[in-house]
Structure 1
Amino acid sequence: MKVYYGYENIENADILVCDQHEDFFIATDAIVDFPDTIPLLHINPIQTTLLYEDYGFRSDSQQHYIYMDMVCAFFIIDCDEQEKEMFLLQVEEELVAVCEEGKRIYILDKHHQPLIKKWASVYKLAIEFILF
């Protein structure tokens, strides 16, 4: 997962565009003092849900991006397998995407972070958030 930056009106900006989604341009660097810079997270999902389109998009080159300010991401550190399965059943309803980056990373709406913490506690799971 890598951070990119999205822009809508960049006619006069000195920026190297690396991807595009219709009239939305994606760059590797943020433009200093540019209004409306949108931080994006490039992901390689192994699963997306119906909620994905509310939090991200697939670019014209078929790459997946999510809006960083809208999501939280976590992975499971330690758990009992049966407890993990029960936890994931709870998480499934709120899930946006799942990625595999050495560890399985679950992406959800950032407003669900307190709920995820509570569920992890109930199921005695150790989790770590990587996006807040």
Structure 2
Amino acid sequence: MAARLKKEYIYATAGSGRHRLAGAALCLGEDISIAVWGGSEPHIGSVAIAVPRQSLEKPKRRRATSSVYNFVGHKDEIVAREIAETVAMRLGRNVVVTAGIHVDQMTHRDLINIVSNVAKLKEQLIVEIERQLR
């Protein structure tokens, strides 16, 4: 029987203002579905799926294979793929991530803040999913 979350879903945020990101995770049997959004126009820009597998170089390590679908003109692939692969590797489950982050007239500094907040959000979600599944 699949381990169940103690809550119906897990919600986390990172950052503030135009760099604020939010994420929600839901266990679907043994699988995990995660949505990540933020900025001035949250949307679905990219969808990534990741499947855990044994490392080809180090058989005792877990890796992930992923595929991504991007809607035309969207650049959310890096966020979706990073979160999907990391969650699949760490938790050993199939993962789907939808991501849509839009910041008007994004600068290099904005990008640095968003990347930092993605890392924080990803870690919060993983830690909470692990805690809920115990």
TM-score of the aligned structures, taking structure 2 as reference length: 0.25
Higher share in helix: 2
Structure possessing the higher radius of gyration over alpha carbons: 1
Higher share in strand: 1
